[in-house]
Chain A
Amino acid sequence: MVSSLFINPFSEDAREIVRNYGSPDTIFEASSALLETVKRTRGQNLDDNSLLPGSIGELAIKRLEWYLRRQRRGFDHGDYAYLMNPDIEEYDVIAFYVLAQAAGAGFRGGSREVRLVVESTGALVEDRFRVLGSERDEIIEEVLIELGSEGTRWMELSELIGSGKLRLTDLILHRGRVVIDEDEFLVTFQDRITDRDPRSLYEALVGLELKETMISRIIMQRTEDYIARVAEMSSTVEPHPLILETAERIGETVNEVTPFRGGQVKTAGPGKLVPDAFPPCIRGTLDGVKSGNRNDAIVLLLTSFISYARLYPSVFRDRTPLKVSDLDPDLRVIREEILPIIYEAAERCEPPLFEDDPQEKLNITAKLGFGVHDEPEPEHEGESKWYTPMSCEKIKIHLPDLCRPDELCRRITNPLTYYNRKRWELHKGKSEQEGED
């Protein structure tokens, strides 16, 4: 018999287990009971002991390792089969809290490590639903009640909606309530449904799929919130040494499985941008923009696009926040290449941007991460954030007139991704042509 613990680490039962476990002193002590459960899991590879977590701390790290490896070539489900075994649920709940506490104590919010811990939690929930079998419906209903999402109003999910974890358009709404209960669905909409069976429409629109999505997203959000609370507490209360050790292991695991491929740009120098690979919105901005869209186009779109395209085009692949000076230590590229492009585009606006709004120069500096100052100076770096280029979705809202999508645009969601793809296509085309010659 599976319990909701297997899915939901935020239930009262789960908290009780953690309370009873007490101090983290023993998280790295060998647990023969855990190891036995792991070994008894059907389909588990037993030929390599390093695959088997022998302690709660190791189980915590394995949760993350599973997530990092599962998308990679050569992943063998048998190496982590125990994670889908409901018999580990009590150990797993404690491991979840160890992992989350370590993420909060060891890393800042928004870091790659925190993001991966949150994502791994959501992915585990989603995969575990698939192994639940006949108990799936019952567990889903139980978890929904535990999470307090029955009779939920969409506004209570606004954090999930704002972060993009849940889309408002995927929910079935009626007078502000998210309709997830079958009886409520039938009572509310029966009269409108004339040419099909209301129950089968319910199954399609709400059914298990939406419920599972809601559960995994809510658990991800709560994990993020929990990590943030731990991080806040860590500034006043010294974290347990074994939690900090777990944090170190998180860092090592992340680096080992997904090493950072960016690093110093050794070839930073003029002429590295490939204007032929710019997307239509950027080409339109460089041509000059009319009053109304000028400020957003230059300050929000172009500044971030050009700086990342020139210095760190792989930011979305590497997902490691860097500073401009990590890539351009003396700021030569910023001063001699990037700013001139932005300022010239601002000059081409109608009327020229800085004539009307000279303070926008300060905003451009701020968007590069150098605070509100006339020019980027090393001593001001970090006073603001180096903004990544806005997504196509946001461009459609902020700058609809600049969004003139071409064939490639349809397959991407960010102008920087367009740039990378197009650059690759251009490079490939050139190589092929050279080959033909």
Chain B
Amino acid sequence: MFEAATPLERKRYYREEWDVRKLPDFIARNIHMREFGFDHTGRGPSDRYRVFDDEKRLSRFMRARFPFAAYSSVAFYREPGKRRGWQRSELIFDVDAKDLPVRSCDCEGVCERCLDEARELVLMMVDTLRGDLGLGDVHVVYSGRGYHIRVLDPGVMELGSEVRAEILRYTAGARQPRRKFTHSGESYEMEHFSIPLGYHRVFIERARHVFLHMRGDERIENVTARTVRDVVRNRELLLEDRWGEFKRRIGPRVYQRLVAGVAGINMKMVDAKVTIDLKRILRLPTSLHSKVSMICMEVKNPETFDPLKSAVPKFVHERE
């Protein structure tokens, strides 16, 4: 499992198993407006600016060239072959299991455990996108080594990078939540965990996810290794929502630094560059991730999705 595919295996996949009809509808319906890119050698997508007027032409190309990797743009263009006439772009969140700054496993690339932790994070983010931000047309794609969240809600497709970055901060819990408030001329402080709604709630969930999956050897900005160990020692409290007790054990002053550090980690749980890039190309669902021999595919039910059952191509089972 997770071994690279040989050229022969790629050929078999695209000729025997891959079917253009499995392309998600959100790609197929606008195929002629997207730029396609291909990596034929394993050294990056150097074959860019490709355009396919319909699925049949894409199918012919894939079967003939069986690329190492296939990508399509998140942007829709009037002239996709020249990347001109930008019209709109999907809003993307890229959660790559191998790049998670906090994960409970110590594998080199990806493993079942970190893939599942990436999935947990994606589930929470989808919940925030739908519940708080009210976005629809949200799709989850298993990328081979993690997940892509692809949002095609018309309300966000034309937004610029700055707003996308702000959506990312909200959804990932990447900003230290506000503590100081004023009411009737008096100012006072409230901790994030005492506010069970809005962004504070998002931050509570993301922080809990980080704390519960730490190994104890992570580096957190402005936080000592001892504090990280204290977090691991006391994190069971968070399973019962006993944040106040948790804070007391960490130390009230250190806790503020910890919260700031977690906001920084949350930002790194998602590849922010992908979110703010309006002209990114992204791995094509149904295509093969040849580095790990997994199928990039749309996930219909992220709650129950298991990539090791659903995203493994036949040739992997037939390997000796």
Contact = CB atoms under 8 A, between A and B. Distances in A.
Interface stretch (A17-25, A267-275, A371-379, A396-404): A396-404
B162 A163 contact: yes
Given A155-B155, A162-B160, A169-B199, A204 B181 contact: yes
Interface stretch (B109-117, B223-231, B265-273, B288-296): B265-273
Interface of B: 131-135, 155-156, 159-160, 162-163, 165-170, 175, 177-178, 181-184, 188, 190, 194-199, 201, 221-222, 264, 267-268, 272-273, 276
A398 B274 CA distance: 9
A164 B181 CA distance: 20
A371 B135 CA distance: 39
Contacts, number: 98
Contact of A162 (B163, B170, B195, B267): B163
Contact of B267 (A170, A193, A397): A397
B166 A161 contact: yes
Interface of A: 153-155, 158, 161-164, 167-177, 189, 192-196, 200-201, 203-205, 207, 209, 394, 396-398, 400, 405, 410
Nearest to A159: B163
Q: Main secondary structure on chain A at its contact with chain B?
A: helix
A205 B170 contact: no
Nearest to A155: B155
A309 B132 CA distance: 42
Given A172-B198, A201-B195, A396-B267, A158 B272 contact: no
Given A171-B198, A173-B134, A397-B276, 7 more contacts: A153-B134, A168-B167, A189-B196, A203-B183, A203-B184, A205-B197, A209-B182
Contacts of B166: 161-162, 167-169
A201 B182 CA distance: 11
Contacts of A161: 162-163, 166
A230 B199 CA distance: 38
A411 B26 CA distance: 45
Given A169-B175, A405-B221, A205 B162 contact: no
A293 B292 CA distance: 24
A176 B134 contact: yes
Contact of A154 (B133, B181, B188): B133
30 contacts: A154-B133, A158-B159, A161-B162, A161-B163, A161-B166, A162-B160, A167-B175, A168-B166, A168-B169, A168-B199, A169-B170, A169-B175, A170-B199, A173-B132, A173-B133, A174-B131, A174-B134, A175-B131, A175-B132, A176-B132, A176-B155, A189-B196, A192-B196, A204-B181, A209-B182, A394-B165, A396-B264, A397-B276, A398-B272, A405-B221
Contacts of A174: 131-132, 134
Contact of B183 (A158, A168, A200, A400): A200
Contact of A400 (B134, B162, B272): B272
B195 A205 contact: yes
A155 B169 CA distance: 15
Nearest to A293: B273
5 closest Cβ pairs, A-B complex: A176-B134, A162-B162, A397-B272, A162-B163, A169-B199
